[in-house]
Amino acid sequence: MLEEIVEKTQERLIESKKSKSLDQLKEEVQKLEITQDFPFKKALSEDEISIIAEVKRASPSKGLIAEDFDYLAIAKEYEEAGASAISVLTEPYFFKGSNDYLKEISQCVSIPTLRKDFVIDEYMIWEAKALGASAVLLIVSILSIVELKKFLDLAHDLGLSAIVETHDGDEIRTALNVGAEIIGVNNRDLTDFTVNIENSISLRRCVSGDVIFISESGIKTPEDVRKLKENDVDAVLIGETLMKSDDKKSMILELKNG
């Protein structure tokens, strides 16, 4: 499945470059104010465990998650409930995401946004900046070490934070070796889609306290959040649980206070 997603991303990238070249995109971004404040990293640096709430319409494993998808209302609800940041899916084929969702959400909330996509080219990092994101996702398993380092440095140069997503100890070592300041551990096995939050707990010891550690996928209950907090996890990224909730604000408050 991951190979299919990357293949589709390559096709999408070709079309994007046809409509707007990298040089044109760079010119657009260079007109923006670029600071080194890194609001996404700052938002996850609080003493309490932070919640990155995800705006997610569908997934390969679950299919369509939200038929009624008022993404702006959802984002505002997340912000009002005290989410530290918002993750926005922009991958259109498997997750039914859109660049427009990210652009509009970034304009209507004051908390930082993450572009959740399968970054395979520097174009997508420049694009994330143009769309208003404060952070991007870099997945170790789909990038070479050279690409990972190049993309991480570019993100930082553009004032973007980067979650470097890992699945095991070897990938964490790779992420740390290229200078990752934010490590995400995906609890979902991308080969069979099984989920186990113990993956984050067992890997937490691989990352020092000065690097932000995020647990991703499979976090469903206040007890899950409490357990991760007790094991020094700094932040959790939660999508499906929130998207399926009829009262997202109450769900975030429940998770935060669990």
Whether 186 is a known active-site residue: answer: yes
From the candidates 54, 79, 91, 127, which is the catalytic residue?
54
Question: What would the DSSP string read from start to end of 54-82?
Answer: EE-SEETTTEE--SS--HHHHHHHHHHHT
Quote the tokens at residue 186.
């995906």
Would residue 80 count as lying in a domain? Answer: yes
Residue 193: per-residue pLDDT: 74
Whether 198 is a known active-site residue: answer: no
Residue 190: per-residue pLDDT: 67
Whether 244 is a known active-site residue: answer: no
Cα(154)–Cα(128) distance, integer angstroms? 12
Residue 256: per-residue pLDDT: 85
Range of the domain at 165: 50-256
Q: What is the mean pLDDT of each run of 10 residues along the chain (258 residues)?
A: 93 97 98 95 94 95 87 97 97 97 98 98 98 98 98 98 97 98 91 86 94 96 95 96 93 87
pTM: 0.95
The residue written with tokens 């997340």 in the block is: 78
Whether 217 is a known active-site residue: answer: yes
Would residue 9 count as lying in a domain? Answer: no
Helical segments of the chain, H only: 2-19, 22-30, 39-43, 71-81, 99-108, 122-131, 145-157, 169-177, 198-203, 222-230, 240-243, 248-256
Would residue 24 count as lying in a domain? Answer: no
Residue 258: per-residue pLDDT: 63
Closest C-alpha among 49, 106, 109, 113 to residue 85:
113
Cα(136)–Cα(58) distance, integer angstroms? 19
Cα(165)–Cα(167) distance, integer angstroms? 7
How many domains does one find in the chain?
1
Q: Is 244 exposed, middle or buried (0-12, 13-18, 19+ CB in 10 A)?
A: middle
Whether 33 is a known active-site residue: answer: no
Would residue 10 count as lying in a domain? Answer: no
Would residue 43 count as lying in a domain? Answer: no
Would residue 70 count as lying in a domain? Answer: yes
Amino acid 197 reads I
Would residue 30 count as lying in a domain? Answer: no
Q: Give whole-number Cα distances, 20 to 26, 29, 124, in Å.
A: 10, 13, 12
Would residue 28 count as lying in a domain? Answer: no
Whether 56 is a known active-site residue: answer: yes
Long-range contacts formed by 240-248: CB under 8 A, 24+ apart = 240/56, 240/59, 240/62, 240/65, 242/53, 242/54, 242/78, 243/54, 243/55, 243/56, 243/57, 243/65, 243/66, 243/74, 244/65, 244/66, 248/53, 248/74, 248/77, 248/78, 248/81
Residue 257: per-residue pLDDT: 80
From the candidates 41, 56, 96, 227, which is the catalytic residue?
56
From the candidates 165, 199, 200, 256, which is the catalytic residue?
165
Cα(96)–Cα(34) distance, integer angstroms? 30
Residue 60: per-residue pLDDT: 84
Residue 41: per-residue pLDDT: 98
CATH value at residue 155: 3.20.20.70
Angle at 198 between CA 167 and CA 43, to 5 degrees: 70
